[in-house]
Amino acid sequence: MEKTTEQELREIKLGYRAKFIKRLTEQFVKKEINEFELRKLSKEQIKEKALKLYGVGPASVEYLLFEDFYFLDSLKTIPPWEQKILSKLLFNKTLVSVDKIHNFFKRFRGFEKLASHYLWEDLFWKRKHKHIEWLEKEIRL
């Protein structure tokens, strides 16, 4: 990746992500971030360091904490697109507050992100087997 140019990445249809991938690769090559050292840190320390990665914000950090570092409780940030889908899925409403969604997940104390993940997995498994009109309008894949 280090030797690949941004233009080459764009040519394989990565579009705007090409810049992100190049910058992120540089950070790892320059050893600004060391994944193996991160694995020894607390959740808050990982979060602090991960936010220094190019293009990584609060929502991305939560995905990293869950999927790569196995913290099952990290559900603080709900991006607007997820808020819309969760509003429909959980409350059958067009849009409910992020607080209401957080309150729903409080019943899974310590496993909030895992519970959320199960909902997404189930929803997209159902989508694979049956057309869900309201979901297609939201995800536009």
pLDDT over threshold 80, residue 141: no
pLDDT at 1: 86
pLDDT at 137: 86
The pTM assigned to this predicted structure is: 0.81
Helix (H), strand (E), coil (C) string for the chain: CCCCCHHHHHHCCCCCHHHHHHHHHHHHHCCCCCHHHHCCCCHHHHHHHHCCCCCCCHHHHHHHHHHCCCCCCCCCCCCHHHHHHHHHHHHCCCCCCHHHHHHHHHHHCCCHHHHHHHHHHHHHHHHHHCCCHHHHHHHCC
- Residues counted in the chain: 141
Model pLDDT for residues 35-51, shown as the tens digit of each residue: 899 999 999 999 999 99
Averaged over 70-74, what is the pLDDT?
94
pLDDT over threshold 80, residue 61: yes
Distance of CA 64 to the CA centre of its chain: 7
Model pLDDT for residues 91-118, shown as the tens digit of each residue: 999 999 999 999 999 999 999 999 999 9
Spatial distance between the Cα atoms of 140 and 109, rounded to a whole number of angstroms: 32
